Every structure is written in structure tokens, then in C-alpha cells.
Structure 1
Amino acid sequence: MSYLKFDKDLMINLEYSLYRNVLRTNRRGAYQNTSISGCNTTKYQGLLVMPAPYLDDENHLILSSFDETVIQHGAEFNLGIHKYSGDNYSPKGHKYIREFNCDSVPKTIYRVGGVVLSKEIMFSSKENRLMIRYTLMDAHSPTTIRFKPFLAFRKASELTKENDQVDRSYREVENGISTCMYPGYPELFMQFTKKPSFVYHPDWYRGIEYLQDMQMGDTYQEDLYVPGYFEMDIQKDEEIIFSAGDIFVDTGSLKKEFDFEIHKRTLRSSFYNCLKNSSHQFYYIPKNNENYLLAGYPWFKVRARDQFISLPGCTLSVDRPDDFEKIMDTAIPHLEDFMHDRPLKNNIKQIEDPDVLLWVIWALQQYWKERKEPFLNTYATFLFSAMEYLRGSMHPNLAVDGTTGLVSTYGRETAVSWMNATIDGRPVVPRSGYLVEFNALWYNAVMFTHEIAEQTNNRALADTLEDAGEQIRKSFLDVFMNDAGYLYDYVDGYYADWSVRPNMIFAVSLDYSPLERRQKKSVIDYVTKELLTNCGIRSLSPKSEKFRPHYTGSIDDKKLAYFNGMAFPWLLGPYIEAYLKVFHMSGLSLADRIMVNMEDEMQNDCIGSISELYDSNPPFTGRGGYSFAMSVAELLRAQRLMKNDEG
């Protein structure tokens, strides 16, 4: 039985199929993404989206779509689909779809009269290149296929309009053509495994619309350029492979390459396998010996906090410790540049955020639990260096208070934590002073470094950190524990924020907690009763007057809702970890129910992956980035924790 299979009734129902999309990536930042119906519904979607390094560090949409037309006895049946003004779709190729299956590669089966055509899409794992394999499964008379490429050559975040700046020239290459619409872009090579006839007929298709952008209040209409069309005959049982990328290929090798790529894919045959495959899609290797994690798709780059939160789940939880080492080894020189006030490279964004080093130490702690000797040989020295930097209050926006031992940050006018939505440059949720998760992470970091100092016989440092840890523990309870039985979200001078938010869960989930068991249980009870939903942990309790459960309205409305009620799947990781720490085996039934709810999301939004956030009231619609590294990683890490508890 297929895990990600959609039948005819679902595919022809645009109310359903337009809101589910499929994503395929390589490790160079390029991707292919469209709805399962084949109709692009956001400006970020297309068959070939890739970096254009000679222009900027953004992703660019090169090939938007590739329409197929089946021709028999002079009758034409166009399998493409585009939205135009007034809710008009033309052509309506989705009505010919009989099945869509995504267990291995995205595979669509069309039936047009007596013609049954299979279409499989493969994104190269090493190159910025798309491959599509067409197989004529059945036909009772001579059949011709016409292929029409829709080109954009624009930033993925922008739209294009008909203009006279387009270079309409092309050149013939082996079994195809190459073309480039504007200077600075790479050539687009479009080639087949057999020679087509190419009919040069340049034209603009005007007023194509993107449904979900329109519904989100974003810009949504553009014109796409079509240079002409390819045409060729196809016989029953014949396979034709199309390749589109930024390099010329030997078309004789395409069949072998396609077969090789498809056989090394892990089937998306279970919840775990879907998450595992999705985790690999965040790997980013722009150059040799550089390894990063993208924060998500479709618009995210490498963000420091996201990378280190995602790192254990995307590597250790899928039994890839070597990848953890490659990514961490790439990151450490960037972190050292920051700590020594040297010029920063641009690869990792927001490395200056005050909690980044705390998350780095947490990620290293997860590695330590699995590979102790390699940790001591490779990362102990950096850990001590990072702790010296933090204890010395050398960070520009994270200082250790000499009286309490807690860390404080200034966030009244700047977003400093993961709750970083802003309006007009100011944080929507200003959090300043002592932040609860910063100090939970800080206590954990001090005690973990104390553990490593003991392991390395660094007695002086171990004693110093032991004393510091005890001071932090006492201060944490004095500052954050309130009479209601949960933790203040932040304390800034004489002001204590009583909002029930999920940040307090880290004081329970981390390996070193300043709380006693009774206090841990009380915190968990609040999070469970007020913040737990089917698709994540709410960012604010519904009891608050600021609570907003739906990500709708204007752009500012959505920013206000972002951290005032939206549910975040990534927080299920620390929540399940905390729950299992307190309730042990008896907590597995709740954890299992959470995973069952999240598994339902495998066939929603970006199929086989997890969105960035969800509306926190029914129907729990996915929002934000539709494939998000922290969401995927923390669900994988939670599964590993559950498995360990069962064992």
C-alpha cells in the first residue's frame, strides 16, 4: 500500500489538490516545488529554482512549468494547468489525472482516451537540474507529445512582467536547446533522450496568477515567457527523459542517471521515513568542505539559531553523526570569528543573536550523549572557549549578572529570541532582561561544561562552574517561579511577564534543570492544559487578551498572530522530552497520540514534510514555510527519545 498516494477524485478536486504541494531539492540550495495538480500556487514554486551566484545570494525561478500536450488523430489534449483572472484555469489538465504517487519520486499518471501516460519527476541530488521521465504505458494509435516551457528567470520572491529586455535567442544543443533570458543568469539547457523538433514561437503568457499568494494578500500576478515548443513521436512502452538545468548533459547517460537516482531514494513509506527524507532536504553544501542546514523552504537561508536547534534531529536522530560533525566543523570557524570580533562571512545569518551560543552548546551536548570520545577529542576545547566568552560577558547583547549569575539581554527595541517577528523594525513580542529559556539554557550550558571539565580533569574549572551553577539555580527559582506554579516568560527590572508561553518548557526538558520534580510537573501541567494542540505548542495561552489563533488578515495582522497564538511543531520536541523526563514510561501514551496527530500532516501542505507553524484552533491549517527544519528535526528527535524510553 502506498503511503503518499492520491487518487483521481482527490486530484481533480482543485479545492484539495491546489493546497498540497511536493518538494524536491539538491544540496546546493536548488529545488523543484509545485502543487500535486501541477499548478503553481505561489511565486516561489516552479520546476527549477536555483541560486544565481553572479547576481546575488537569492534563489531564482528559472523554469516555471513545462506543459505537455498529447496529440492523437490531430486532436490535442493539454495536460498543463495555470490559473488566470476570475478563477479561470486554462488548460485544465488536472481532469486527465488518474493517480498521483509520491512514495519514491513524484509520479503522475494521466489517461486521455486510450492513452495512458506516466510522468515521473526527479531532481538531481548533485546538480541544479530537473529530470522528467515520460512513459507511454498504453496507446492504441500513433501518439505525439508537445512540450512547452514557461520561463521566468527572476528572483523567487518577485514577479515578472512582459518586457522588451528579454534575449529571445537560443542555440541548438544535443537533443534540445539552450537559452538565457537576461545577462548574469546561467544558461538553461533543455534536452531529451531523443531528438525533438523545436518550433521557435516566442510569446508571453499574460496574467498568470498564484492562488495562495492572492489569498495571503501578497502580489500574485505575472507574465511568463515561452520561447516555443518541442515535439516528438512516442511509441507504446517507450521512455523519454527530459533534462533542464544549468549545464549541458550527455543525453545518452540520462536513462542510466535517472535509474541510479531513483534506486538510491529511500521510500516515503512511513512517518519516520518521510521525516528522514525531509531532514536530508535541508542539507546545504554550496562548496566543497562547507556544510550547513537551511532553515526551510521555500524562502529560508541558513539561520544560526535554526541550524543549531535542527542539527541533532537532522543528523543524530537519523543515524548520521558524520553529518553532524561536518556541519559543526563548518560552523565553528564562523562562531570563532564572531567571538573574536573578526569580520563575519555571510554564510550563516543572525549569528550575533544572543542565544546562538547557548543553542550551540545544547547541540554539542546531544552529540556528547552519543559519541563521548570523539566529542572530547574534537569539541571540548571549543566548548571551554565558548563558555569563557559567555562567562566573561563578552557578547554584545548577553551579559552575566554578577549578583544573580543569570544572563540578561536587551530586547525592548530589537527581537532577540526565537520569537522574532517585527513590525516597523520593532519586536511584536518585546522580551528583555532575564528571558526564561535563555537562563534555562544558560544553567544547562554551565552544568554541561562542568561535566566535561570533570571528564578532562580540569578541576579548577569544574569547581568554578559547580559554584556558578548553584548560584544560577537558586536565582532562577527566585526570579522566574511564580505563585501560580509556572514560570514568568521574562523579568525586566521590576516587571515580570505573566504570559503563559512555551519558553518555560526548556526549564524542564534540558538535561540539567534548575527545577525540582514538583515544579517540573506544575510547568508541564500549564503547558499541557493551555498550550498543547494537535499540531504543536501554542506561543501564547488562549486566556490572554492578545491571543490570536489564526494566521489571517493583513501582513501586520499575521505578524501580530505569529507569536501570540500560533502553534509550533518544533516545540513538541522539548515538550515530549520534558514529559518523558517527568512521567517516564507512563508518558509514552501521550507522546504516541501527539505523533499520530502529526502523522496526519504528511498528506497536507507540503506532503511528506512539516510546516513552520499552524493555526492553533481547528482546522489547524499549516502556515509559514511549508517545509521547516526545526519542525522536522524536533519530531525526529522526539521519536528517538520515545524509542529510547521504550527500550
Structure 2
Amino acid sequence: MTNLEESLQREILRTNKAGAYHCTTIVDCNTRKYHGLLVIPIPNLDDENHVMLSSLDETVIQHGAEFNLGLHKYQGNHFSPNGHKYIREFDCERIPATTYRVGGVVLRKEKIFVHHESRILIRYTLLEAHSATTLRFRPFLAFRGVREYTHENNQVNREYQLVENGIKTCMYPGYPELFMQLNKKNEFHFQPDWYRGIEYPKEQERGYDFNEDLYVPGYFEVNIKKGESIVFSAGTSETSTHRLKQAFDQEVNDRTPRDSFYHCLKNSAHQFHYQQGDDHYIIAGYPWFKCRARDMFISLPGLTLALDEVDQFEDVMNTAEKAIRSFMNKDAIGYKIREMDHPDVLLWAVWALQQYAKETSREQCRTRYGDLLKEIIEFIRQRKHENLFLHENGLLYANGAERAITWMNSTIDGRPVIPRTGYIVEINALWYNALKFIADLVREEEDIVLADALDAQAELTGKSFVEVFRNEYGYLLDYVDGNMMDWSIRPNMIFTVAFDYSPLDRTQKKQVLDIVTKELLTPKGLRTLSPKNGGYNPNYVGSQQQRDYAYHQGTAWPWLMGFYMEAYLRIYRISGLSFVERQLIGLEDELTIHCIGSLPELFDGNPPFRGRGAVSFAMNVAEVLRILKLLSKYY
């Protein structure tokens, strides 16, 4: 904790399942513009999250001596005040808890983010003290979007009103009021000031602007006795201060301890849920992603069914189903799901429902989602999708030359870095799998005519798939567009081995699996490109443009490992279990490094395989959980 090179790399994330979050480093020093104690969506302003309360500096006062426990980075690699030097212990098994020792004073600080409410609670307990002790709290306010910075200005509203045991204030029009209260009588000293030149090293690393000024309206002072606990609350509504202790305890009891690989991932899975009124979404990742259609369908089975939370799957699918129907009917989509029009999205939705059928029963899936599945397959067969063309050979063609349309979606100046276009391997693997799955499902309800039609379509698709994608070296081309064939060894071919229905025979599947194992497998996921390729670019570092070039040109992604391990178990069955378990160990190590208890977006493709990108990524967490569930079925 006292070695900043180590501690500033480790981050903590907590969300309220309603779009708001708290994120910072384990020493409470913000290193990103996205960091903050209270970061919330403000729908009436825009579609972004906003940092309301950036941080809270605590000062311990004894015999007139002041010890500031805060930590900020300023220009010239200067850190002040150096509160991390007083840290003796940090624990986040249930909630983040930091223990400070200042001379004879031992103070514990615990943070909890309230579920379904924009409120953070911080509890301070004085464990040891030999004389009268006072705590001072100095709030740093930002009131800005997560992609912006605030700087000293004259427009800020400095007014505040007293509320029960605290104050409320609002820096700018359009923002909600911020209520800061304690569970005990205290004094607020109005002392408005700007703290200038605070720096965010993670933004500097990423080639962005990286400094801002934060506004401090004043400070709270409160006396605390040995053994006493004081709770600080920051939220967008007033709270009853005499209930703060009780509210804190209730929230703690509601948390699953992060005491195992599985429990860490389970906690992380719950953080991606975003409920707004009757709508239920999955956030693609933190701290900057929104709900994206493809990510939602790929991660949904792992985030819900793998945790035996079938009702949560159905809840999210209720919202998704309305959005799918709006899209197919060409209505305006009134749902916060992005990229619904991408050509593989409907096919991933079918795959998600297929996992539901396996986890519940085919009958339950048919009863609940049979009509939707038939509508999706007919929508594609009747060529109603604007960028998904069913050709005479049974394969689906999509135009991706001008616009990124698959999960490999990095762009520079609006143009795809990897223009995957034409017959795209995973889209056609998904298509074959969907045709066979829905054919089997409708045959069971004795819709023989449709079942036969889909089977006939699948037979044509399967034959063409092998002819078009399989090359003489035994692996699959990534995409084919007329005479243009992409021979790059990429991970997208692994889906053809992993899915329940595949046009490949066992020998062909094994050849694909072997080449993926040999050239793409790392301890952290599958590489997006073979190191033997001249365009291999494994390190996701540098400016936005440098990172965009590297994004899918050699970086490793854990979610692909889920499908790889599923494919491995399909080929090797029970004899493959120990290999799969060994692979998971490489990911278990990661839970203590980047964002504590979660998995980051991607990793460098070369050793030491550093975690990069978003600190917590839904598809990665989901796919590891799905594989853990799959493994449990073998025992």
C-alpha cells in the first residue's frame, strides 16, 4: 500500500446496479478522469455518467496536530498530502476497508455503495486513541461528465444550505443537489477554494489531457471517541441521519464475500446489471462503456444462468426482446441498447436463448421465446436485414468495408482498422448453429414444414461453409469477399468448434483447435492475431491511434478463452478437464492486479501479458463463469 508504483495500479469498483458507480485506486488516489466517490448518470443532461463527488480528504486532529490521510497527484510527480504512508492494512473481502495508524490513533475507514440508489456511505471507526480526537472531512467536488475536466471558473454556484447534520450544494444548473451528511452533529466551515493542477496519470498514459482543478466548498469537523463509529453519506437525496449506521450494516449483510475465484466473479457479474424503471440492461464494461447489443447477448448467459439466476436472464431478455422487435419492425428503438443493427447481433441473441434452453429446458425456451426465435430466423431468411444478405449458396454476406460491423470494431477516422467484409467466419458459424437449433426446437412442437425448411437451409449452408472457409492448411479463413480471402490466423474460427451445431466434422474441428492452441493461446485469453503475421501488434499502449491499431492485432481477450475451453472440452471431453482448469489459473491471478476481484478488457499478447483497457469487462467475467458452470457438470 505504501509503494505507490504497486498500489496506484490496483483499482476498486463498486456499482449500484442502476448505472452509478464508485471507482478509485486502493489508496484512494484518483488516477483517471473516470474515478470518483460518487459517479452517476444524469439522464436529463445527457447520456454520460457524471463525477459529482471526486474524493474526500480526511484529517485526524489531536493536540492541535493535523494528519491528512488524503492523496492526490500534482505536477512534477508530486503527491500531496501523503496519506498512504499512514495505511497499515487494506481489506476488500466484503467491502473496501482501510486501516490507518497515526501515532497512537488507529482509524478504520469502510466504504459501501448503496444498491439502486445514488449514494455512497463511508464509516469511520476509531479503534485506538489515547486522547481527544477530531476528524475533519474536506469534499472535492467536480460536477462534470466523465469524459471532461473541470477548471477554476466564476460560474460555479458557491451557495449551500444546511440540512440535517450536513449541507446540500449544487455547482451548476441542471445538476441534482449533492447532499453530504453525517450521522452525528458536526460543524461545517464554509471555506470555498479550488485545488489546482490535480493530475490523472492513467489519462496521460493514454495520450489524453490529464489535469483539472477541483472545487472544495469547505470542511466538516466532528469529535470522535475511542470505539465510536461515524458514518458519512454523499447522495443526490437527503437521508435520515439517525438511520445511517443501520443502513450501512444492512448493505454490508447484503454482500457476498469475495473469498474465492467464483465469489469474486459473481460479485463482479452483479455489477454489470443496470436497471432503470422497468428496463433491465447489461453494461458492457466499466468505467466508460454503455449497453452494447452484442456484448449483452454474449455475456448474458454467463452473468445470469451460470449463477443460477434464471429470473435475471428473463428480466434482461424482456427488455432486449422489445428492442429486437423494434429493430426488426424498423421502429425507433426507445431502449438504451447500442449497435442493434450490427449483422451478428440477432444471431448472438439466438445463441443466448440456446444457452437458456440448455439451462432450463427446450420446452420452457420454446414456450417463452419460440415466437421470437422464429421471427428472427424469418427476418434473416427473407433478407429484411439491411446488412445481412442470404446468398444462393446458403451463406450470409455482410458489408464491412466502410464500417466496423463485428466485435473486431476498432476504427481510425471512421474507417475500420480490420475491414472484415463479405462472408465472415463467425457470422456464418452462428447462422448454421441458429438454423439447426431452431429447426430442432420447432420440430418438437411438430412444425414439420418449418423444421424441414430450416434443416435444408442448414445443409446447404454447412456444405458451402466448408468449401468457402476451410483451406488446405486445415484452419478457417477469417473472411472471404469474392477473390479477397483473409488468411490471417484469428480466433474467430474457434466458435465453429465451440457451438452445439457445427458444419465441421470431428477431424476438421480438431485441426482448427490445434492451430488456435499453437498460435493464439495465452494464459490470459486468445490472441486476436497470430504472432507469425507481419501485422502482429501485441501491446495495447500509447496514444488512442496506436491503441486502435493494436486493439485486434495481437492483444489477448479472456472472453474468447471461454469458447476455446468449450471447444476443447467438446474434443477431449473428460480428459481435457485438467488442461482447462490449468488455463483458468492464469485468470485467477489477475483478480488481485488490475481491478480487484474483476477482469479487465484485454491483455497484451506477449509476456508479461499486462491487463489493459476498461478495468472490468462483462464478456470476460461472463465467459469464465460459464466455463466454471460447464466444468461443474463434469463432476
Aligned to 2:594: 605
Any unmatched runs of 5+ in structure 1?
1-10
Match of 2:184 among 183, 194, 204: 194
Q: For the residues of structure 2 that align with 1:620 and 1:464, how far apart are their CA atoms? A: 47
Aligned to 2:404: 415
Aligned to 1:87: 77
Per the TM alignment, residue 578 of structure 1 is displaced from its structure 2 partner at its CA by 0.2
Aligned to 1:3: none
Match of 1:66 among 44, 56, 75: 56
1:249-268 alignment to 2 at 5 Å?
A: 249-268=239-258
Per the TM alignment, residue 470 of structure 1 is displaced from its structure 2 partner at its CA by 0.7
Deviation string, structure 1 residues 268-292 (Cα, Å, up to 9, x no partner): 00000000000000000011x2111
SS at match of 1:379: helix
Aligned to 2:154: 164
1:489-504 alignment to 2 at 5 Å?
A: 489-504=478-493
SS at match of 2:81: strand
Using structure 1 for the length normalisation, give the TM-score.
Answer: 0.97
Q: For the residues of structure 1 that align with 2:75 and 2:505, how far apart are their CA atoms? A: 61
Aligned to 1:430: 419
Q: Are residues 1:530 and 2:554 paired?
A: no
Match of 1:112 among 99, 102, 111: 102
Native 8 Å contact 1:150 1:226 kept in 2:
yes
1:69-148 alignment to 2 at 5 Å?
A: 69-148=59-138
Deviation string, structure 1 residues 108-156 (Cα, Å, up to 9, x no partner): 0000000000000000012000000000000011100000000000001
SS at match of 2:446: coil
Q: For the residues of structure 1 that align with 2:565 and 2:213, how far apart are their CA atoms? A: 47
Any unmatched runs of 5+ in structure 2?
none
Per the TM alignment, residue 554 of structure 1 is displaced from its structure 2 partner at its CA by 2.2
Q: For the residues of structure 2 that align with 1:377 and 1:252, how far apart are their CA atoms? A: 50
Deviation string, structure 1 residues 620-643 (Cα, Å, up to 9, x no partner): 111111100001000100111111
1:215-230 alignment to 2 at 5 Å?
A: 215-230=205-220
Q: Are residues 1:568 and 2:568 paired?
A: no
Paired residues, number: 634
Which one is further off, 544-553 or 235-244?
544-553
Q: Are residues 1:585 and 2:585 paired?
A: no
Native 8 Å contact 1:354 1:416 kept in 2:
yes
Letter aligned with residue 629 of structure 2: R
Native 8 Å contact 1:508 1:578 kept in 2:
yes
1:102-501 alignment to 2 at 5 Å?
A: 102-287=92-277, 289-372=278-361, 373-402=363-392, 404-501=393-490
Q: For the residues of structure 2 that align with 1:609 and 1:642, how far apart are their CA atoms? A: 20
Q: For the residues of structure 2 that align with 1:405 and 1:304, how far apart are their CA atoms? A: 25
SS at match of 1:291: strand
Aligned to 2:534: 545
Per the TM alignment, residue 603 of structure 1 is displaced from its structure 2 partner at its CA by 0.4
Q: For the residues of structure 2 that align with 1:374 and 1:475, how far apart are their CA atoms? A: 33
Aligned to 2:25: 35
Q: For the residues of structure 2 that align with 1:574 and 1:393, how far apart are their CA atoms? A: 29
Q: For the residues of structure 1 that align with 2:539 and 2:507, how far apart are their CA atoms? A: 34
Q: For the residues of structure 1 that align with 2:246 and 2:280, how far apart are their CA atoms? A: 28
Q: For the residues of structure 1 that align with 2:541 and 2:117, how far apart are their CA atoms? A: 38
Q: For the residues of structure 1 that align with 2:328 and 2:306, how far apart are their CA atoms? A: 29
Per the TM alignment, residue 346 of structure 1 is displaced from its structure 2 partner at its CA by 4.5
Letter aligned with residue 198 of structure 1: F
Native 8 Å contact 1:179 1:188 kept in 2:
yes
Q: For the residues of structure 2 that align with 1:407 and 1:94, how far apart are their CA atoms? A: 57
Deviation string, structure 1 residues 176-235 (Cα, Å, up to 9, x no partner): 000000000000000000011000000000000011111221111000000000001100
Q: For the residues of structure 2 that align with 1:487 and 1:144, how far apart are their CA atoms? A: 68
Per the TM alignment, residue 374 of structure 1 is displaced from its structure 2 partner at its CA by 2.4
Per the TM alignment, residue 57 of structure 1 is displaced from its structure 2 partner at its CA by 1.4
Q: For the residues of structure 2 that align with 1:286 and 1:434, how far apart are their CA atoms? A: 38
Native 8 Å contact 2:69 2:82 kept in 1:
yes
Native 8 Å contact 2:475 2:512 kept in 1:
yes
Letter aligned with residue 637 of structure 1: R
Two-structure CA RMSD over aligned residues (Å): 0.7
Which one is further off, 509-518 or 587-596?
587-596
Letter aligned with residue 200 of structure 2: Y
SS at match of 1:42: coil
Deviation string, structure 1 residues 308-333 (Cα, Å, up to 9, x no partner): 00000000001100000000011111
Letter aligned with residue 407 of structure 1: L
Letter aligned with residue 178 of structure 1: K
Native 8 Å contact 2:323 2:335 kept in 1:
no
Q: For the residues of structure 2 that align with 1:488 and 1:183, how far apart are their CA atoms? A: 55
Q: For the residues of structure 2 that align with 1:215 and 1:328, how far apart are their CA atoms? A: 38
Aligned to 2:584: 595
Letter aligned with residue 293 of structure 1: I
Native 8 Å contact 1:27 1:286 kept in 2:
no
Identity %: 57
Q: For the residues of structure 1 that align with 2:34 and 2:242, how far apart are their CA atoms? A: 32
Q: For the residues of structure 2 that align with 1:455 and 1:191, how far apart are their CA atoms? A: 61
Q: For the residues of structure 1 that align with 2:383 and 2:268, how far apart are their CA atoms? A: 38
Aligned to 1:5: none
SS at match of 1:191: strand
Letter aligned with residue 630 of structure 1: M
TM superposition outliers: structure 1 runs of 4+ over 4 Å: none
Q: For the residues of structure 1 that align with 2:489 and 2:230, how far apart are their CA atoms? A: 58
SS at match of 1:86: coil
SS at match of 1:448: helix
Using structure 2 for the length normalisation, give the TM-score.
Answer: 0.99
Aligned to 2:617: 628
Per the TM alignment, residue 589 of structure 1 is displaced from its structure 2 partner at its CA by 1.5
Deviation string, structure 1 residues 591-644 (Cα, Å, up to 9, x no partner): 111111100001011110001101111111111111000010001001111111
Q: For the residues of structure 2 that align with 1:555 and 1:264, how far apart are their CA atoms? A: 40
